Amino acid sequence: METTARQATARHYLMCPPTHFDVTYSINPWMDPGKPTDQSIAMDQWQRIHDQLIDLGHTVDVIPPLEGLPDMVFAANGATVYGDRALVARFRFPERDAESAGYLDWFAAKGLKVRQAALENEGEGDYLAAGPWILAGNGFRTDRRSHVETEEYFGRPVIGLTLVNDKFYHLDTALSALDDRTIMYYPAAFTPGSQGILRELFPDAIIADHDDAEAFGLNAVSDGKHVLMPEGAANLVAQLRAAGFESFGMDVSELLRAGGGVKCCILELHNQV
């Protein structure tokens, strides 16, 4: 079989250790505060993701975790960053509200131009770079009207996509950009209109099945060749291999108790100077 030679490019990421990890409230269907969590297992799973990125040659910055914010480990939600501009999240739920201050301070200290989004906007949980576009989810967290602000702030075209299944409440739980032209996604997580947009823009996309999506297999991070993803998405793994990607299945069982996986833990600082 003919396989495409995939090209990895060095990336710059930001992560936040799950020092204060817990499930003390429920803001998505995966979270059950009645079930016990194990912070040390979460830390171990997080560390493996972190170390795998380093092994692949990427730069990983770490933002200090703030006490009382058990979801801060999901750094993807903290902001959207391109070049010297950071648009910091405005969270949908008050439980995560105080995380924004941590990100505003961190990016300001780094010397970036910083602004907090005016409307609900959960950062790279809902805003994913795909080639020239920013694919933008709405339906559960990010307010569709915030897409306009994001487009204007970064001067990049934003493609709005509407999510319909509350188990896949952020775009990064239903879709992953593998390189500038290739994405993988779970069609049933989107409205028929959004499925049409995705078919039009990405006719060669890798399509996830129900089991892949339930295994959180789309919550993945790619450098153009290596794809870090929650383990257990068998169909996706086979399709990625056939398409020339190299996948790394990560155990995220503990992080999943909060409704998070690999990508949720990783914010990419795109084209950072």
Cα 49 to Cα 263: distance, rounded to the nearest angstrom:
10
CB of 162 to ligand ARG, least distance (A): 16
- 16 annotated active-site: no
Cα 262 to Cα 5: distance, rounded to the nearest angstrom:
24
Helix residue spans in the chain (DSSP H): 39-55, 99-109, 146-154, 192-201, 210-214, 234-242
Closer to ligand ARG at the Cβ: 66 or 243?
66
CB of 73 to ligand ARG, least distance (A): 9
Number of residues that bind ligand ARG (CB under 6 A): 16
List the one residue from 14, 42, 69, 76 that touches ligand ARG (CB under 6 A): 76
CB of 53 to ligand ARG, least distance (A): 16
State yes or no: residue 260 binds ligand ARG (CB under 6 A): yes
Instruction: Please spell the DSSP secondary structure of 74-88, one letter per residue.
Output: -GGGGEEEETTEEEE
- 265 annotated active-site: no
Which residue is catalytic, options 20, 50, 58, 264? 264
| Three-class secondary structure assignment of 167-187 | CCCCHHHCEEECCCCCEEECH
Inter-residue contact 96 to 76 (CB < 8 Å) = no
CB of 79 to ligand ARG, least distance (A): 12
Sites of contact with ligand ARG (CB under 6 A): 27-28, 31, 71, 74, 76-77, 96, 125, 170, 172-173, 258-260, 264
Q: Catalytic residues, which ones?
A: 170, 264
